[in-house]
Amino acid sequence: MIKRRGSGFTPSIKDALSGKFAEEKEEETAIDKMKYFTGEQLNESFTQEAFDEKWAEYLLRLNGRPALKASMSRTPQIFDSCKLKLQIDSNIIDTEISKIKPELVSWLRKELRNTSIELITEVVELEGTSNRPYSEREKLAEMVKKNPNVNLLKQTFNLDFSDH
């Protein structure tokens, strides 16, 4: 017996022509996710402590994505009572955050009962991330800057810090 309608793997031409697509019904779009909790307007205020707790709770969901979790471990700054500003140090992480942003914002809106919550990401060069010493010579130079006696130690014991 041949099915006239498409199987689970093959779309039906008849359904496609009439505008019915199974894929659209199953997968939620980013716009739908952003609208998840906006039907009912809630504007409950929340404390920094309550926000920090919910932010940490969400981070537990990112255990399989360590780079993203590390970047999001910096708690966003709250301004205008419901806008969140997260500073990150890479455009790549910004792209990754934009992929989970609809889900994250919807979840925060639901948990904190405030539909006005917005998350804004800002790519900035964070302190301590630029000019990190990688080679042995660079590391030695950094140590000598911090403590000139390191150079004396190197000379006294005839230490060799060549890159191998």
Report the domain count for the chain.
2
For residue 100, what pLDDT is reported?
A: 92
Beta pairing partners, 62: none
- Reported as a single tens digit per residue, the pLDDT across 13-49 is 776 677 665 544 445 555 555 554 445 677 888 888 9
Average pLDDT value for residue range 71-91: 88
pTM: 0.54
- 156 in the same domain as 136: yes
- 139 in the same domain as 110: no
Closest CA to 162 of 143, 140, 146, 142: 140
As a whole number of angstroms, the distance between CA 150 and CA 17 comes to: 76
In sign, the C-alpha dihedral spanning 128, 67, 58, 39 is positive
Beta pairing partners, 85: 77, 120
Q: Establish if 62 belongs to a structural domain.
A: yes
Containing structural domain, residue 146? 131-164
Q: Establish if 21 belongs to a structural domain.
A: no
- 110 in the same domain as 81: yes
- 76 in the same domain as 95: yes
- 153 in the same domain as 94: no
Angle at 118 between CA 113 and CA 123, to 5 degrees: 145
Question: What residues contact residue 21 under an 8 Å CB cut-off, 6+ apart?
Answer: 11, 15
Q: Establish if 34 belongs to a structural domain.
A: yes
Q: Establish if 14 belongs to a structural domain.
A: no
